[in-house]
Chains A and B, each alone.
Chain A
Amino acid sequence: MNRQADDTIKRLLGPAEPELQCDECFEKIDEYVDFELQGDDADQLIPGMRPHLEGCPACHEEYDSLRELVQSAE
């Protein structure tokens, strides 16, 4: 119950926390992924990235792909 409604509300209201914009996300996404794969606290090192990825499906897709691609190439 409520799942569909919650998804709609989340998409409409977006992330509550301060977030990067798409250009800033693109600028930093490679660092963010490398931090994550090195085991560093990427969210602390690049604040605003995680909320942006939650709010922007296109950037999230590219993040997923980059992380998977780098992992597969290692």
Chain B
Amino acid sequence: MPLPSSQSFSSPSVAAESQAWVDALSSSGRERDEAVARLHELLLRGARFEVSRRRASLAHIRGEDFDDVAMQAADDALVAVLGKLDDYRGASRFTTWAYKFVLLEAGVRLRRRAWQEREVVLDSESWTQLAQSSPGADTDAERSELLHTLSECIGEGLTPHQRQVLVALAMDGVPIDVLAERLSTTRGALYKTLHDARRKLRTEMSERGFPVETTLTGGGKR
């Protein structure tokens, strides 16, 4: 399958290398089998890279569990890459395109492993603490007023679902993939909810005299 000629590579050799990957994976018999094995090797390298990168922050996980995560991520990414091969248009290097699948698989698994023993409080009231902010050593009077108003907007301006998602993701630090699993939804759907909640907060803040473009540059209420 020839890739479109509109590739953006600075190097023709990179384009040729990407084309070679597609040709080999689109072939049949031994050539394809060998290409699939090379692809799995590439993806496993990517998965191990990700595992190693995050290992320090996952001290409670055993070594063999990391190996399992890497292998499962590589296996699932292989299926995804082969399934989406027709979608690859050569806009990036083939190996960069393939790596993104395994980094997603490994990242989601590692975030979930890190939180599997932890409780996710779905109706956390942590946002109410914003209203308790008072000027002091860490926060000036303008920031304190702003946090107070933000708390009001979260309480009065958002739907219960928007508040739940915003507080879990943006205040309590729950990883989006962990929350998606607990709520039986997807990262994309949750981020859309977060995005809508943030937009609503910005509008509410603006209507209450806090133009959002000045909130972090020292400006207070207008």
A→B interface (CB under 8 Å): 1-6, 8-14, 16, 19, 21-23, 26, 29-31, 33-35, 38, 40, 55-58, 61-62, 65-66, 68-70, 72-73
The residue that B188 contacts in the complex, of A3, A22, A40, with Cβ under 8 A, is A22
Q: 4 tightest A-B contacts by CB?
A: A14-B198, A30-B92, A11-B170, A5-B143
The reply to whether A21 and B191 contact each other, CB–CB distance below 8 Å, is yes
Cβ–Cβ < 8 Å partners of B46 in chain A? 69
Contact with A along B194-214 (1 / 0, CB 8 A): 110010011001000000110
The residue that A16 contacts in the complex, of B92, B99, B133, B212, with Cβ under 8 A, is B212
Q: Which residue of A lies closest to B177 (CB)?
A: A58
Cβ–Cβ < 8 Å partners of B170 in chain A? 11-12, 14
- How near does chain B come to A61, taking the closest CB pair, in angstroms? 6
Cβ–Cβ < 8 Å partners of A11 in chain B? 170-171
In the assembled complex, B176 has its CB within 8 A of some CB on chain A: yes
Cβ–Cβ < 8 Å partners of A3 in chain B? 138
Q: How far is the CA of A29 from the CA of B100 in the complex (A)?
A: 8
Cβ–Cβ < 8 Å partners of B138 in chain A? 1-5
Q: How far is the CA of A65 from the CA of B9 in the complex (A)?
A: 21
The reply to whether B202 and A13 contact each other, CB–CB distance below 8 Å, is yes
Cβ–Cβ < 8 Å partners of A68 in chain B? 49, 53
Q: How far is the CA of A31 from the CA of B139 in the complex (A)?
A: 41
Q: How far is the CA of A62 from the CA of B72 in the complex (A)?
A: 17
The reply to whether B100 and A62 contact each other, CB–CB distance below 8 Å, is yes
Contact A58:B176 (CB < 8 A) given known A22-B191, A30-B92, A34-B92: yes
The reply to whether A70 and B166 contact each other, CB–CB distance below 8 Å, is no
Q: List 12 additional contacts besides A12-B166, A22-B188, A72-B49; criterion CB under 8 Å.
A: A4-B139, A8-B130, A9-B150, A12-B198, A12-B201, A13-B205, A14-B195, A21-B195, A22-B191, A29-B100, A30-B99, A66-B103
Cβ–Cβ < 8 Å partners of B130 in chain A? 8
Q: How far is the CA of A69 from the CA of B53 in the complex (A)?
A: 10
Q: How far is the CA of A11 from the CA of B150 in the complex (A)?
A: 12
15 A–B contacts, CB within 8 A, in A order: A1-B139, A2-B139, A2-B140, A2-B143, A5-B138, A8-B171, A9-B216, A11-B170, A12-B154, A30-B93, A55-B198, A61-B107, A65-B107, A66-B96, A66-B100
In the assembled complex, B28 has its CB within 8 A of some CB on chain A: no
The reply to whether B147 and A5 contact each other, CB–CB distance below 8 Å, is yes
The reply to whether A62 and B96 contact each other, CB–CB distance below 8 Å, is no
Q: Which residue of A lies closest to B11 (CB)?
A: A38
